[in-house]
Amino acid sequence: MISPIAPISHDVVTFALDARADYDASEPLFIDAQDPSRSLNGVQFPFLVRTLIAGLKAHGVGKGDCVVVHTGNNVLYTALFLAIIGTGGIYMGSNPHSSVDEFNRVVHLTKPRLILTEEEALSTVLAVSDKNNISSNNIFLINDASIDATIAFTHGQEQPSIPTKTTQSSLPTILSFLSDKTADPALIVDPETAKATPAALYLTSGTTGLPKAAVLTHAALIARHQAILYTPPYKVSRLICLPIFHVFSSLWTHLFPIRYGHPLYILRGFQMPVFLDTVRRYQISETYLVPVVVHALNQAPASLDVVASLSSLRYIGLSGAPIDRDSMTAFQDILHPDACAGQVWGMTECGVVIQNRYPESGRSGQGDLGSIGRVLPGYEAKLVSTAAVGDSEERPTREVVEGQNVSGQLHVRGPGLFNEYLGQEEAVVDDQGWFSTGDVAYVNAEGDYVIVGRTKELIKVRGYQVSPAEIEAVLLKHPLITDIAVMGITLADGSTEAPRAYVVRTGGTKGKLTAEEVFDFVQQRLASYKVLDGGVYFVERIPRTVNGKLQRGKLAKLNEQREMLAGLLGKLKAAN
């Protein structure tokens, strides 16, 4: 049963700044976790947003214009996000560690009016801007000096006297947007306009191919927020260490602090000692992580005192990639007895649709740790038949799956769905509004959804369908394996597909773990058709996105190169 979300008739900025909860606006809301003197409270923040709206408009940003924010996490990020949208423009975030080709695709897709970036990414931005005939006057830097000066400005101090251009590059900084002028956001007052007006672009993960830019409207952004909104039985103080330019982190970053007074501590990224110290120092109660971090915390040395460091946490949301039940249980065991680690399922295209929340009234316990939880308010989900894992029988592709523990393709619909992929005319939902996620799942006896794997990633072994995630979960239990990726390959005789494993050995164990031992480890724990007949290969690293998702497209290229090299070596050996 879903709880409907009322029609949304606001723009995102008005939704964020107006009708706020009753809290002490003088308390810091957006806080640099490593330098808490860098912060914005509930008075400074709205003033800064309205000042930036005026400044961006003065630099030519208006209705439908895109501004790319090509920077890492910082305390001004949300103010820039809302200000861009407040001009009537469209926000686009991108990874500051992108290559020239990757960022060129972003610019080619979005055709930005302005680019906001940091000095570490400047060489890439300048190279791409030159290719796309973007003037250096439309590139603005965000650096430590401009962040500090902007915060000082919000305290009512004089307009910053430091130069609005950096001496290193002669490029303008974001201080150019500050003046004594403010502007209110471009208003939206009816549901149809809110549903039709783009507010933000987010890149899809691009795990199997090139990333696409998903177009999110004002209504979709607000609906996504409303779906994840609930009142937990603890005082909320959040820590964000995942990249804010990613849609997952943005959900808990942009609206919760200013609307509800929840302090948000911001780290540039995850480094275990810094993360643990931050949680302990600020008594963080809620944070969001990816599975690879959980595996690292589970294996952390006793000297880091992980249990004591994490004792203030009450909810940890996990997303970005599958994680097995045993790893979740091990992680739960190092947390406070009142804490809950819960998986969160969503996509760039639809937001968070299914979540294991902190246990709510009327439900005993937190459910199956191996599950992703239950469908959130405003959304619907259904499973459409496919060959079940381990089942050779093919069923009609559009038959709706019902019953417990029966796998099917996950389809979702709701008000948080994206409108389109930028620059593409393909239909993104069917005629009833359902979006096909590409994931295979089932519903367990408790009514929770459990992810089996991706439809395109399932390996067809002699009529059976094998989930790479299941094999990966088993291999991650090996003490000498730190990361793993499993893919399907076609055997040389063409008779069937078979699983192949790419393995990263734990540091310092090179040579101590053999391919035969990895093969045997799987063979002893899984059915015969799930063994690694495609081979075991050791690599230095597994290609992953910033959010921890396996980049299967890059893995496939790595495999193709390996096969090509093996073929050449085979020919040389035969010739000799």
Q: Is the confidence at residue 395, as pLDDT, over 70?
A: no
Eight-class DSSP state of 5: P
Asked if 87 and 65 touch (Cβ cutoff 8 Å), the reply is yes
Last residue of a domain, one of 217, 236, 262: 217
Between residues 492 and 99, which one has the greater pLDDT?
99
**DSSP state letters, 498-562:** EEEEEEEEPTT-TTTS-HHHHHHHHHTTS-GGGS-TT-EEE-S---B-TTS-B-HHHHHHHHHHH
Give per-residue pLDDT as tens, 107-155: 999 999 999 999 999 999 999 999 999 999 999 999 999 999 999 999 9
Tally of CB atoms within 10 A around 534: 21
Give per-residue pLDDT as tens, 246-299: 999 999 999 999 999 999 999 999 999 999 999 999 999 999 999 889 988 998
Q: Is the confidence at residue 197, as pLDDT, over 90?
A: yes
Between residues 9 and 330, which one has the greater pLDDT?
330
Give per-residue pLDDT as tens, 52-91: 999 999 999 999 999 999 999 999 999 999 999 999 999 9
pTM for the whole structure? 0.84
Cα–Cα nearest to 112, from 158, 159, 65: 65
Residue 2: per-residue pLDDT: 43
Instruction: Compute φ and ψ for 241, nearest 5 degrees.
Output: -125, -5
Give per-residue pLDDT as tens, 201-246: 999 876 556 789 999 999 999 999 999 999 999 999 999 999 999 9
Give per-residue pLDDT as tens, 298-342: 989 999 999 999 999 999 999 988 788 888 999 999 999 999 999
Query: CB neighbours of 19 closer than 8 A, spacing ≥ 6?
Result: none
Q: Is the confidence at residue 160, as pLDDT, over 70?
A: no
CATH number of residue 475's parent domain: 3.30.300.30
Q: How far is CA 336 from CA 23, 228, 487, in A?
A: 28, 23, 37
C-alpha torsion angle, residues 45, 47, 48, 53 (rounded to 10):
130
Cα(441)–Cα(374) distance, rounded to whole angstroms?
12
Residue 164: per-residue pLDDT: 60
Q: How far is CA 392 from CA 105, 425, 444, 470, 490, in A?
A: 41, 36, 21, 18, 18
Residue 496: per-residue pLDDT: 84
Residue 527: per-residue pLDDT: 84
Q: Which helix (H) or strand (E) holds 91?
A: strand 90-93
Q: Is the confidence at residue 365, as pLDDT, over 60?
A: no
CATH number of residue 86's parent domain: 3.40.50.12780
Question: Does residue 467 belong to any structural domain of this protein?
Answer: yes
Question: Does residue 278 belong to any structural domain of this protein?
Answer: no
Q: Is the confidence at residue 420, as pLDDT, over 60?
A: yes
**Rounded mean pLDDT, 159-177:** 72
Question: Does residue 280 belong to any structural domain of this protein?
Answer: no
Query: CB neighbours of 380 closer than 8 A, spacing ≥ 6?
Result: 2, 412, 413, 414
Residue 521: per-residue pLDDT: 95
Residue 566: per-residue pLDDT: 62
The whole domain housing 200 covers 12-22+31-217
Question: Does residue 384 belong to any structural domain of this protein?
Answer: no
Question: Does residue 267 belong to any structural domain of this protein?
Answer: no
Question: Does residue 417 belong to any structural domain of this protein?
Answer: no
**Rounded mean pLDDT, 488-496:** 83
Question: Does residue 522 belong to any structural domain of this protein?
Answer: yes
Last residue of a domain, one of 179, 196, 217: 217
Residue 156: per-residue pLDDT: 81
Last residue of a domain, one of 217, 250, 270: 217
Question: Does residue 422 belong to any structural domain of this protein?
Answer: no
**What are the tokens at 393?**
């029988």
State percent of the chain over pLDDT 90: 67
Between residues 360 and 323, which one has the greater pLDDT?
323
Q: Is the confidence at residue 422, as pLDDT, over 90?
A: yes
Residue 168: per-residue pLDDT: 55
Cα(29)–Cα(260) distance, rounded to whole angstroms?
10
Confidence band for 552, pLDDT divided at 50, 70 and 90: confident
**What are the tokens at 323?**
């994680």
Distance of CA 151 to the CA centre of its chain: 28
How many structural domains is the chain composed of? 2
Confidence band for 385, pLDDT divided at 50, 70 and 90: confident
User: E strands of 146-188, at which residues?
Assistant: none
Q: How far is CA 375 from CA 353, 359, 472, in A?
A: 6, 14, 26
Straight-line distance from the first to the last Cα atom of the chain, in angstroms, rounded to the nearest whole number? 69
Quote the radius of gyration of the chain (alpha carbons, Å).
Answer: 24
Least-confidence region, from 153-167, 257-271, 361-375, 497-511: 153-167
Residue 493: per-residue pLDDT: 79
